[in-house]
């Protein structure tokens, strides 16, 4: 059974990410953890947030959080009933990214699915500040980021962005491989270069190993010139080839790291309608599963 964490603030953007996850895994046994966090607007640190925990704000916010989670479960039951899916709700007085990181370890999460949109005034920025913080903080499982208003489409065309400068282990690529096999998808390996030039010996070796890992999956290699920024180049590539899912590994000097470090003026270009799968370097040992969250299951 897959264990999937979905943070929600009860917005339609968050609901869109929930429905995407439900459709993506509709044929699989899954435990979905719906997470809502609440903190005072003025709380800029864990210390300041803790000082409000026993006060009136915390009590009111906790009730609002629990009520919102209950309404979300009822909405799922009405519109996306599936006996293969079970649910646990988590309401926490904490900072969002901190609670996500803790929940990933506590509940042995296999995948985090998050909706995202840009901050007010720059709504065309796909990777908003919360998304960037999640990408940088979540190290023990993949993160799937769903663009605002994106409607589910079976991912039969998957792009994997890489520069071939790093050796990938099979365990790191497993989320990508499993996704491709589940949907009979084609994987398009895309190498963005500032200046097109032949691959080095190291790059050729890593490419050959990657092809061995993808031996049972239809795949192609594309080399493209960088246009203004990595984000803009990947957006155009995804649009032209009708990519349904863009995957990247997140490690030092990777495309993903470069993208999250790009100035906001460049990331404005990255308003693609393509879901983004970020796979971290998987080297951490997981903890024992906890059952402290409130569980809800559907039955006939």
Annotated domain spans of the chain: 2-149, 157-274
What pLDDT was estimated at residue 134? 84
Look over the chain and give the mean of its residue pLDDT values, rounded to a whole number: 82
Residue 197's CB: how many other CB atoms inside 10 A?
8
CA distance 285 to 134: 19
What pLDDT was estimated at residue 55? 53
Better pLDDT: 256 or 1: 1
Angle at 134 between CA 174 and CA 254, to 5 degrees: 55
CA distance 13 to 123: 12
Strand runs labelled E in the chain = 2-7, 30-37, 85-92, 111-116, 143-147, 157-161, 186-193, 219-225, 245-250, 276-280, 294-297
Mean pLDDT over 167-179 rounds to 93
**pTM for this structure?**
0.83
Do 157-274 and 2-149 have the same topology in CATH? yes
Q: Locate 21 and state its tokens.
A: 């996850």
Taking each continuous run of H as one helix and of E as one strand, the counts in the chain are: 10, 11
| Residue 31 · residue 91 · CB < 8 Å | no
The reply to whether CATH 3.30.230.10 applies to domain 2-149 is no
Mean pLDDT over 108-114 rounds to 96
Mean pLDDT over 281-297 rounds to 54
Residue 102 pLDDT exceeds 80: yes
Of all helices (H) and strands (E), which one includes residue 169?
none
Residue 125 pLDDT exceeds 80: no
The reply to whether CATH 3.40.50.620 applies to domain 157-274 is yes
Residue 115 pLDDT exceeds 60: yes
The model's confidence at residue 214, banded by pLDDT at 50, 70 and 90, is very high
């Amino acid at each position: 059974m897959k264990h999937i964490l979905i943070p929600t603030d009860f917005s339609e953007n968050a609901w869109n990410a929930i429905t995407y996850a439900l459709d993506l895994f509709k044929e699989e046994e899954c435990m979905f953890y719906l997470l809502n966090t609440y903190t005072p607007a003025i709380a800029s640190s864990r210390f300041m947030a803790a000082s409000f925990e026993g006060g009136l704000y915390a009590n009111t916010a906790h009730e609002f959080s629990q009520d919102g989670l209950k309404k979300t479960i009822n909405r799922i039951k009405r519109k996306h009933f599936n006996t293969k899916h079970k649910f646990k709700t988590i309401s926490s007085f904490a900072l969002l990214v901190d609670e996500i990181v803790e929940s990933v370890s506590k509940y042995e999460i296999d995948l985090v699915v998050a909706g995202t949109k840009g901050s007010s005034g720059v709504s065309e920025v796909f990777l908003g500040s919360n998304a960037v913080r999640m990408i940088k903080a979540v190290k023990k499982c993949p993160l799937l980021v769903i663009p605002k208003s994106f409607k589910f489409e079976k991912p039969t065309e998957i792009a994997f962005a890489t520069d071939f400068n790093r050796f990938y282990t099979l365990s790191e690529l497993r989320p990508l491989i499993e996704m491709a096999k589940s949907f009979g998808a084609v994987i398009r390996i895309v190498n963005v270069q500032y200046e097109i030039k032949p691959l080095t010996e190291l790059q050729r070796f890593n490419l050959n190993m990657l092809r061995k890992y993808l031996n049972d999956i239809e795949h192609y290699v594309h080399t493209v010139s960088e246009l203004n920024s990595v984000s803009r180049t990947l957006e155009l590539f995804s649009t032209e080839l009708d990519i349904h899912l863009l995957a990247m590994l997140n490690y030092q000097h990777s495309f993903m790291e470069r993208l999250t470090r790009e100035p906001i003026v460049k990331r404005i270009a990255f308003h693609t309608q393509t879901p983004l799968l970020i796979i971290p370097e998987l080297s951490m040992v997981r903890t024992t599963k906890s059952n402290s969250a409130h569980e809800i299951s559907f039955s006939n």
